[in-house]
Structure 1
């Protein structure tokens, strides 16, 4: 039996396979303004960051001023892309259904995005009132604030929880809060997670083994 009493899931890249979709929209919009970047650049420089940090990076890549409605347009275009293409991360529904302990989601994304993507992938019924967004507290990873808020609300200490993250920023946020963290490495192209996560695991089935069978 696992020593943990609560699981805190990140959303993008852990529950829903949204990273390639959202980042491709960001690449397309940046390139329309002359940035000349590709999806690998986005994974390396944008993954796990708050939207404003991504916007600031793009602003530094172009010669003209970034349009004031860039973020609004990004949300509209990415939401459309999610509606047509998004899927749950392989094996995550089975993992969730196997859990006998409480769990929740804590994400850097705005709550309407989290809920949209969970609804589109059929995962929303698992979470309902257990959604924690950095936008609600205006503190973003690598600050541990969203994880600390989630743990406290769920009724547990950081030591009783384990976080599942797929970005180095998220892993550092969890560690900064005193949490054990599973680095989900299926798309860890830069091989950064293994050195910093408590566990580095590349499949949901293996995470299930750790949390349920151990």
Structure 2
């Protein structure tokens, strides 16, 4: 691709926040005496649209305890997660260097609700790289793993699906971007990834997997016109 659009997920790709979300969610599950396998949970829950995530978590609680997720529990989970993300958020190593060196247009497509999405990008010092190109699952009828958000972002940026390269760290995100007809790079550079090979992302359909933003920059330079000469 000589002139691609880069579509970035936020959590786990731009900011190192997924480990925080997982810690909060596993603390909550343990408070309910629920133990689940981490890789299973990551594959099932990560990057889901908020309504899908809430429904799925409620189903898990109902199955394990006989009681679904309450409104109070959901509100408390969101409150703790958001507070900790804003207090602890930091950009993924190398992302600032990557974005500064990119010549290609770029945008964000995240399941994070508005207005929290631009707030945490600003807190991490990355909002300046994206301007108005920040798109939330709130903006479409069906969030990840549906293709709607990726298609919406491409349309708003004025690019056809085949000219888009999406960078995702979750199987649900990979599935959504592939369903939208986009080229997908799986990213395992976030602190939540233990299997840096990204086998789960490849299995979900990722066309290529990178372990860092430096590796992503090298791949883009070798295969596209996205980087400055």
Verify same fold: TM over 0.5.
Answer: yes
1:83 aligns with 2:72: no
Q: For residue 142 of structure 2, give the secondary structure of its aligned residue in structure 1.
A: coil
Give 1:41 deviation, angstroms.
5.3
Q: Is the 8 A contact 1:34 1:63 kept in 2?
A: no
Match runs of 1:123-202 below 5 Å? 123-186=126-189, 187=193, 189=195, 191-195=199-203, 196-202=205-211
Which has the larger displacement, 34-43 or 118-127? Answer: 34-43
CA distance, structure 1, for counterparts of residue 49 and residue 148 of structure 2: 14
Q: Is the 8 A contact 2:161 2:182 kept in 1?
A: yes
Give 1:62 deviation, angstroms.
2.5
Deviations along 1:43-65, one digit per CA (max 9) or x if unpaired, are 34322223344333342333334
Match runs of 1:76-115 below 5 Å? 76-115=79-118
Aligned to 1:20: 19
- Runs of at least 4 residues off by over 6 Å: none
> Superposition RMSD on alpha carbons, in Å?
2.0
Residues matched between the structures, number = 213
Deviations along 1:116-170, one digit per CA (max 9) or x if unpaired, are 2212211111123111111121311121111111111101101111000011111
Q: Is the 8 A contact 2:135 2:153 kept in 1?
A: yes
Match runs of 1:43-58 below 5 Å? 43-55=42-54, 56-57=56-57, 58=60
CA distance, structure 2, for counterparts of residue 144 and residue 45 of structure 1: 17
Which has the larger displacement, 54-63 or 7-16? Answer: 54-63
- Structure 2 unpaired stretches of 5+: 224-229
- Structure 1 unpaired stretches of 5+: none
Give 1:28 deviation, angstroms.
1.4
Q: For residue 115 of structure 2, give the secondary structure of its aligned residue in structure 1.
A: helix
CA distance, structure 2, for counterparts of residue 137 and residue 35 of structure 1: 33
Counterparts in 2 of 1:168 and 1:39: CA distance versus 1, 3 Å:
closer
CA distance, structure 2, for counterparts of residue 14 and residue 80 of structure 1: 20
1:6 aligns with 2:5: yes
CA distance, structure 2, for counterparts of residue 134 and residue 185 of structure 1: 22
TM-score (normalizing by structure 1): 0.90
CA distance, structure 2, for counterparts of residue 154 and residue 89 of structure 1: 24
Give 1:38 deviation, angstroms.
6.8
Aligned to 2:227: none
Which has the larger displacement, 182-191 or 82-91? Answer: 182-191
CA distance, structure 2, for counterparts of residue 139 and residue 123 of structure 1: 26
